[in-house]
Amino acid sequence: MFLLSLLPILLPVLAGGLLMLWKPRQRVRQVFVMSAVLLTSALICAAVAETDRLGPASTACTVVQFGRNMSLSLRIDRASMVFGMIIAVLWPITTLYAFEYMKHETNKTRFFGFFLMSYGVVCGIAFAEDFLTLYIFYEMLTLATLPLVMHEMDQKARYAGRKYFIYSFSGAAAVFILLIFLMRYGTTLNFVYGGVLDMAKAAGQESSLLTVFLVAFFGFGVKAAVFPVHSWLPDAAVAPTPVTALLHAVAVVKSGAFAIMRLIYFGFGTDFLFGTYAQTVAMAAAAVTIVFGSARAVRAQHFKRRLAYSTISNLSYIVLGFAIMTPAGLCAGLAHMVYHAVLKITLFFCAGAVMYKTGREYVYEMYGLAWKMPVVFATFTVSALGLMGIPPLGGFVGKWNIAVSAAALGTAAGYACAAALIVSAILTVLYLIPVSIGSVWRQDTLPYDEDHAPADPNANMCLPLLVLTVGGVALSLASPWLISVLSGVAAGM
């Protein structure tokens, strides 16, 4: 059943293209998009189930064979399953939300076309079997999401888009170098848990290989918004909220983190990297990003920018988990990947709902809204508690495991990273709770006209919010199961 891994990629891409050429009316478009998304999600689930039942070989698929050991090929392993399931669940919900949110926007066909396409591409990143395939989809992701970032086409959007693709292409260029070196010093380009380096060839080249690792780390780090190369993300917050929520809090950025995971555990291998200066640099970069992102979030007054900075910080939680380079770290990183996905998308949806109903974008404009938009702010507060890491909510599970496995290293770097997590946790409270407090205990003094009267949005928006919040809580309560699954992944099964 190799089609099962190919179809979820092909279907949305083709559907998106068709949509843009076809330009149907509102109703038809919505039905078309929704059915396409649902079908894709169903396919992903089917593929995951099939693989789970019969093993990765059952759904592996070589699409194009370029040359010897260079191919565009797909193969679903445990890690792919995790990432695949995340997007398979979140995409339909976001689609529903987007229908409502985009109601007053222009160029909906283009938007939903690329929205569908990026679904397929992200799925491709999840299912990629080797670094070439990963690289291909990585480039395509940039291209597919660029129109979404530039959607408004005004000055700010153009600037954001320009910044976005410059950063992304620089990252891809760095990854290209990795590709060359792996072709030279690796046994294969495929993902092999434990690394593919051919030590016979690599002997004597360690230092340059470590350099290449760092180059590639920051190359992928662009999408994961690691510190020196992060600044595209806050600007990309000008995109319509569904994009910011799904792509810039989940799909795109998580692809970056996912790629870093592939790079560390399936590319160079922890045996080669563990304890080298490269690992220290990677961990340090992550730690710096964690603190920096949270600090900027505290300072940011624009609601979505604040959340974007928070995303930067939280992504580096994940990266840090991976950079610890122990199975525990990998498991922890994946766990935070799952939880942050659900929590952050909810937070963004809340911000979007406020913008959509009242057109307010700044934190100090949220005062007193909780009484007029109870659902939005209730869900916001719950998810905020989760992100802050109040046990037993999801954020704590991820943070706890990451920090414990970092501290378990017993090195100064490990303790420093744990400390960074702590500082960030404090800052997290400081940039999330005041929003809730202000929305409840302060007075809303801003004037508003009829069509911007603050009130809970209709079901199309509230439903995703509630579903996500409940799901997030449920997922937190199911954390033992999740952790056991993920530790299975981390064990390399």
Partner 1 sequence: MLPFYHYIPSVCILLCLLSAILLAAVRNGRAAFAAGIGLAAVTAVLSGVLLFMLMPAEESFTFVMGHFPAPFGNELKAGPLQALLTMCFSLVVGLSLLGGWADLKHDVQPDKLSLYFVMTSLTLAALYVLTYTNDMFTGYVFIEISTLSACALVMAKDRGPTLVATLRYLFLSLLGSGLFLIGVVLLYSVTGHLLMKQVGQQIIVLRSTGRFGLQLAFIIGLFTAGLGVKSAMFPFHRWLPDAHSSTTTASSAILSGTVIKGTVILLIILFCRVFTLGMVNALHIDDVVFALGIMGMIFGSISAIRERQSKRMLAWSSIAQMGYIFTGIGLGTRAGIAAACFHILVHATSKSMLFCCVGRLSAVNGHRKMLKEMQGTARHDILAGIGFTLGALSMIGIPLLAGFASKLYLATSTMDSASKTAATLFALALSTVLNALYYIPAIVTVWAYPEDALIGRAPRDSAFTVSAAVSIAVVILLGVAYAPVMHIIEVGLSLL
Partner 2 sequence: MLLLPLIFSAAGGACAFLIPKERPRNACVMGALILTFLSAAALCAADLPPLRLLSIGGGIELTLFLDGVARFFALLVSGVWMVVGPYAFPYIRHEGRPRRFFGFYMLTLASLMGLCLSGNAVTFYMFYELMTLLSIPLVLHSGAETAIYASLKYLGYSVLGASMALFGLFILASYGGAAGFAPGGILDASRTAGHEEMLVRVWLLMSLGFGCKAGMVPLQAWLPTAHPAAPSPASAVLSGLITKAGVLGILRVTYFVFGPEMLRGTSAQHILLGLALLTVLTGSMLAYKERPFKRRLAFSTVSQVSYALFGLFLLTPGGVLGALLQVFFHAVAKNVLFLAAGAMIFRTGRVNAEDYQGIGREMPVTTWCFAISALSLIGIPPTGGYFSKWYLATSAMESCGALGMLGAAILLLSALLTAGYLLPVVARGFFPGRDYVPRKQEVGPAMCAPMVILAAAAALCGLISGPLAGPVAAIAASVF
Would you call 152 exposed, middle or buried from its count of C-beta atoms within 10 A (0-12, 13-18, 19+)?
middle
- Rule CB under 8 A: is residue 335 a binding residue for partner 2? yes
Which DSSP string do the residues of 118-183 spell out, in sequence order?
HHHHHHHHHHB-BHHHHHHHHHHHHHHHHHHHTTT-SHHHHHHHHHHHHHHHHHHHHHHHHHHHHH
CB of 113 to partner 1, least distance (A): 12
Q: How far apart are CA 124 and CA 15, in angstroms?
A: 15
- Rule CB under 8 A: is residue 416 a binding residue for partner 2? no
Q: Could you say which of partner 1, partner 2, none residue 163 binds, taking C-beta under 5 to 8 angstroms by partner kind?
A: none
Within 141-160, the residues that bind partner 1 by CB under 8 A are 143, 146-147, 150, 153, 158
Q: What tokens were used for 297?
A: 């979030």
Contact (CB, 8 A) for 90 and 341: yes
- Rule CB under 8 A: is residue 374 a binding residue for partner 2? no
User: Given the complex with partner 2, which of 177 and 419 has the nearer CB atom?
Assistant: 419
Q: Could you say which of partner 1, partner 2, none residue 258 binds, taking C-beta under 5 to 8 angstroms by partner kind?
A: none
Q: How far apart are CA 226 and CA 233, in angstroms?
A: 10
Q: Which residues of 121-138 are buried (b: 16+ CB within 10 A; e: fewer)?
A: bbbbbbbbbbbbbbbbbb
Stretch that binds partner 2, among 123-131, 186-194, 255-263, 400-408 (CB under 8 A): 400-408
19 sits in which H/E element: helix 3-22
Return the amino acid letter for 239: A
**433, 446, 463, 466: which one contacts partner 2 (CB under 8 A)?**
433
Q: How far apart are CA 418 and CA 430, in angstroms?
A: 19
The residues with which 183 forms a beta bridge, in sequence order, are none
Q: Could you say which of partner 1, partner 2, none residue 49 binds, taking C-beta under 5 to 8 angstroms by partner kind?
A: none
Stretch that binds partner 2, among 93-101, 221-229, 270-278, 401-409 (CB under 8 A): 401-409
Q: How far apart are CA 253 and CA 332, in angstroms?
A: 17
- Rule CB under 8 A: is residue 67 a binding residue for partner 1? yes
Q: Could you say which of partner 1, partner 2, none residue 421 binds, taking C-beta under 5 to 8 angstroms by partner kind?
A: partner 2
**23, 103, 156, 184: which one contacts partner 1 (CB under 8 A)?**
184
In this structure, what is the dihedral angle of CA atoms 108, 112, 115, 120, given to the nearest 10 degrees? -160
User: Given the complex with partner 1, which of 139 and 456 has the nearer CB atom?
Assistant: 139
Within 61-80, the residues that bind partner 2 by CB under 8 A are none
Instruction: Mention every residue, 6+ apart, whose C-beta is less than 8 A from residue 440.
Output: 368, 370, 371, 377
CB of 469 to partner 2, least distance (A): 17
Phi-psi region of 39 (alpha: psi -120 to 50; beta: other; left: phi over 0): alpha
**88, 160, 249, 483: which one contacts partner 2 (CB under 8 A)?**
483
Q: Could you say which of partner 2, partner 1, none residue 165 binds, taking C-beta under 5 to 8 angstroms by partner kind?
A: partner 1
Nearest to 423 by CA among 412, 431, 434: 431
- Rule CB under 8 A: is residue 123 a binding residue for partner 1? no
Would you call 493 exposed, middle or buried from its count of C-beta atoms within 10 A (0-12, 13-18, 19+)?
exposed
**18, 69, 162, 274: which one contacts partner 1 (CB under 8 A)?**
162
Q: Could you say which of partner 2, partner 1, none residue 172 binds, taking C-beta under 5 to 8 angstroms by partner kind?
A: partner 1
Residues at the site binding partner 1, with contacts judged by CB under 8 A: 21, 64, 66-68, 72, 107, 132, 135-136, 139-140, 143, 146-147, 150, 153, 158, 161-162, 165-166, 169-170, 172-174, 176-177, 179-181, 183-184
Residues at the site binding partner 2, with contacts judged by CB under 8 A: 332, 335, 385, 390-392, 396-397, 400-401, 403-404, 406-408, 410, 415, 418-419, 421-423, 425-426, 429-430, 433-434, 437, 441-442, 477, 479-480, 482-484, 486
